[in-house]
């Protein structure tokens, strides 16, 4: 089977396949963003599980099976969680059934990669354990919470804000049973820090730094986004608190209904924030559909189970009719034969590209191409995780810029020898390319049904270079024509090269000219054959300063350093020791925590 054209599931599938086929040399992924550390792009849990399942099933079906199991696990977890909240058995069963019936989570798979769904399936169990955590001090509960938090982090880190919001809601609901709030908060901080350190063994510290620096929402970096949300929450929290105290207390709602309403309000609010940040980016502000579906399932589960027979029938009928209409929309892309034909057309075009050459793709092809063919491209399926500082500037100019010369320069700087352009006649869902006439400066390789493959003969991933390029001024942006012209002027003739997973082979002539690679610089690159020094140029590409002209071949290898594994492991072990001794340590630090002002929450 195949996935919808717009789905990001093939992105996760491509990464999982690469992990399976390249193990243990999987640490560098050469096909996205001019190359990127593999561990920045995905956690280890899904690639490992799909690799195991692929011994019995095709890769596509292995991933699909994981998604199906995640839906069932969420339903079972919802029932278990509601029982922990004190719900009747009937409420838990109905809420779980409603979650399975509602179509939003499945609809999102038309546009998401499924990793968030897989991580979310564990959340109801974590919430259940967290209720026990709030009621009593237990090292077993602390450790279990730490292990499961680490697990979901290693599936998909986007689940962490959801986890924090859920914990906050439960603290509000169970505030009357919480004793020594500062002690509880300290334990929770230690659990999160330990989980963070354990997850960093895989992701590495550099990943978190990259994530904080790259644009993530509405053009904001994650750092600026947190600041923006914090300011917004400070203004809204007093109002939200007042509404909660007045309304919820007067209605005497059950803990289950309180959780459902607060969880729903939280994610409706966050969806509103995303809408305000970028109203045109529909897929961004509907991305909390899974969380909203979870909350709605809980609310309707309580309402239906406690309503009269007539009201229960009306609510159930409304949900079924509404869900069926959305299910039709959700399923239709999965059976769209026109979309599958389009993919076959594109793959036929991309097969004209030499395996070691790079191509610029845009639209949906970016996300599914690497699940079908090993091909290096400029874009990829996880923009916030990319380490190249200028690819996004270049991609915008290539795709939407008006200046033909800028397009030529950026294709050279990013090492893309080919570009696949779609016009209105194409079956491509996203029509990204503008100013189509500028691409006529390049040699047309193939044309098929509104899709044009062009070649830029000046481009190559590996070239000789004048060492003076290191002194070139860094471009101020994607449209800095003068700086880009100066940069490109130092690039020389292409050299023979071969990309092989985490290695780059360079076949040399008899000279000691420095070598330029359209590959992101990273301190983990090493020369394993030949002599030279690896340095970073002004746009973030990699340059090899040769020390001798005798080498006929240089081989560069990317491998995660031992320090990136050992250091977070040591930190995690240290935090773990503090965690298991937290009950002894707390009395010594309690005199400082009284200034936090948290004891008022116990009242």
Q: Considering the entire predicted model, what is its pTM?
A: 0.90
| Residues 531-553: b if buried by 16+ CB within 10 A, e if exposed | ebebeebbbbbbbbbbeeeebee
- Would you state the torsion angle of the CA atoms of residues 170, 173, 176, 177, taken in this order, to the nearest 10 degrees? -40
Low-confidence stretches of the chain (pLDDT beneath 70):
1, 215-251, 280, 510, 586, 588-603
Helix (H) or strand (E) holding 515: strand 515-520
DSSP letter, residue 244: I
- Output the CA torsion 438→442→444→449 (10° steps): -30
Rg (CA), the chain: 27
The answer to whether the beta carbons of residues 76 and 421 sit under 8 Å apart is no
Q: What are phi and psi of 154, to 5 degrees?
A: -85, -5
Let me know: does 120 contact 20? Beta carbons within 8 Å.
no
Which residues, in sequence order, are bridge partners of residue 441? Answer: none
> Within 10 A of 507 (CB to CB), how many other CB atoms are there?
12
Read off the tokens for 148: 């499961």
**Nearby residues of 32 by Cβ (< 8 Å), 6 or more positions away:** 41, 370, 377, 379, 380, 381, 382, 386
> What length does the chain have?
603
Dihedral, CA of residue 456, residue 457, residue 459 and residue 463, to nearest 10 = 180
**Contact criterion met (CB below 8 Å) for 46 and 579:** no
Question: Given this model, what pLDDT does residue 590 score?
Answer: 64
3-state helix, strand, coil in the chain (%, to 5): 60, 15, 25
User: In this predicted structure, what is the pLDDT of residue 252?
Assistant: 77
> Mind listing the pLDDT tens digit for each residue in 478-502?
999 999 999 999 999 999 999 999 9
DSSP 8-state code for residue 26: -
């Amino acid at each position: 089977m195949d996935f919808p054209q717009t789905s990001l599931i093939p992105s996760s599938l491509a990464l999982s396949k690469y992990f399976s086929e390249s193990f243990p040399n999987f640490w560098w992924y050469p096909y996205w963003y001019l190359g990127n550390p593999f561990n920045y792009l995905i956690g280890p849990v899904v690639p490992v599980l799909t690799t195991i399942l692929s011994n019995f099933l095709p890769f596509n079906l292995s991933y699909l099976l994981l998604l199906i199991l995640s839906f069932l696990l969420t339903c079972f977890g919802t029932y278990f969680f509601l029982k922990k909240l004190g719900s009747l058995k009937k409420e838990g069963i109905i809420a779980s059934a409603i979650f399975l019936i509602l179509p939003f989570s499945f609809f999102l798979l038309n546009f998401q990669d499924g990793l968030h769904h897989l991580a979310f399936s564990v959340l109801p169990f974590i919430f259940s354990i967290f209720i026990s955590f709030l009621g009593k001090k237990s090292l077993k509960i602390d450790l279990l919470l730490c292990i499961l938090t680490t697990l979901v982090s290693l599936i998909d880190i986007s689940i962490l804000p959801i986890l924090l919001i859920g914990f906050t809601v439960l603290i509000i609901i169970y505030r009357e049973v919480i004793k020594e709030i500062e002690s509880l908060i300290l334990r929770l901080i230690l659990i999160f820090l330990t989980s963070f350190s354990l997850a960093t063994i895989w992701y590495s510290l550099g990943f978190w730094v990259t994530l904080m620096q790259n644009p993530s929402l509405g053009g904001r970096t994650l750092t600026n986004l947190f600041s923006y949300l914090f300011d917004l929450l400070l203004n809204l929290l007093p109002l939200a608190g007042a509404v909660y105290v007045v309304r919820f207390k007067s209605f005497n709602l059950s803990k289950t209904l309180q959780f459902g309403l607060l969880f729903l309000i939280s994610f409706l609010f966050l969806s509103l924030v995303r809408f305000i940040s970028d109203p045109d980016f529909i897929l961004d502000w509907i991305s909390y559909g899974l969380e909203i579906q979870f909350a709605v399932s809980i609310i309707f589960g309580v309402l239906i189970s406690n309503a009269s027979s007539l009201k229960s029938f009306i609510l159930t009928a409304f949900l079924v009719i509404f869900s069926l209409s959305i299910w039709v929309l959700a399923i239709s892309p999965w059976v769209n034969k026109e979309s599958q034909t389009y993919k076959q057309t594109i793959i036929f075009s991309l097969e004209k590209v030499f395996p070691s050459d790079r191509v610029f793709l845009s639209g949906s092809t970016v996300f599914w191409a690497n699940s079908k063919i090993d091909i290096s491209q400029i874009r990829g399926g996880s923009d916030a995780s990319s380490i190249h500082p200028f690819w996004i500037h270049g991609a915008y100019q290539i795709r939407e810029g008006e200046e033909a010369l800028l397009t030529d320069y950026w294709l050279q700087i990013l090492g893309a020898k080919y570009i696949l352009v779609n016009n209105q006649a194409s079956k491509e869902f996203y029509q990204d390319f503008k100013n189509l006439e500028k691409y006529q400066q390049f040699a047309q390789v193939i044309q098929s049904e509104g899709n044009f493959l062009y070649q830029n003969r000046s481009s190559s991933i590996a070239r000789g270079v004048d060492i003076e390029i290191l002194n070139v001024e860094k471009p101020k942006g994607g449209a800095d024509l003068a700086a880009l012209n100066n940069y490109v002027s130092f690039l020389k003739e292409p050299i023979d090269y071969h990309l092989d997973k985490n290695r780059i082979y360079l076949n040399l002539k008899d000279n000691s000219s420095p070598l330029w690679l359209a590959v992101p610089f990273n301190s983990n690159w090493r020369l394993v054959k030949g002599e030279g020094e690896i340095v970073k140029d002004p746009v973030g590409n990699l340059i090899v300063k040769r020390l001798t002209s005798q080498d006929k071949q240089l081989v560069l290898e990317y491998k995660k350093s031992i320090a990136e594994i050992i250091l977070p492991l040591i930190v995690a072990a240290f935090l773990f020791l503090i965690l298991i001794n937290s009950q002894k340590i707390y009395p010594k630090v309690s005199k400082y925590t009284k200034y936090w002002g948290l004891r008022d929450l116990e009242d």
